[in-house]
Amino acid sequence: MDLLIEPDAGSHCLALAGQILDSAKPDRRFDGVPVTLQGWKGPVAQTTAEEFGEFHLDFNFESNVSLEIKIAE
C-alpha cells in the first residue's frame, strides 16, 4: 500500500490518497474495494477503490484515525 497525506493550506482539512497493491499478484484489480477512515466516533470518510486500487479521501483533521480496507479473498 502506498499512502500520501496532504494538508489543505489554511484549514483543518486533509487529503489522503493511496493505492492498494498486491506484489504477489501485480495484475490483481481492486475496483470497488471499500475504504473507510475511522475516527473516535465512527467513520470520518468513505470511498471505494478504483480499478488499479487508487483511492482518495478528504476529511477534517482528527488526532486519532485508522484506515480500514476490506478485501475479499
Three-state SS at 50: coil
Question: What is residue 30's predicted lDDT score, i.e. its pLDDT?
Answer: 92
Q: What is the pLDDT of residues 31-63, one digit of tens each?
A: 999 999 999 999 999 999 998 999 999 999 988
φ, ψ at 72 (rounded to 5°):
-80, 145
Strand blocks (E) in 1-73: 2-7, 13-19, 34-39, 42-48, 54-60, 66-69
Residue 72 pLDDT more than 90? no
Residue 73 pLDDT more than 80? no
pLDDT category of residue 1 using cuts at 50, 70 and 90: confident
What is the CATH code of the structural domain delimited by 2-69? 2.60.40
φ, ψ at 67 (rounded to 5°):
-105, 125
C-alpha cell at 20: 492498494
Domain ranges of the chain: 2-69
Mean residue pLDDT of the chain comes to 92
pTM: 0.86
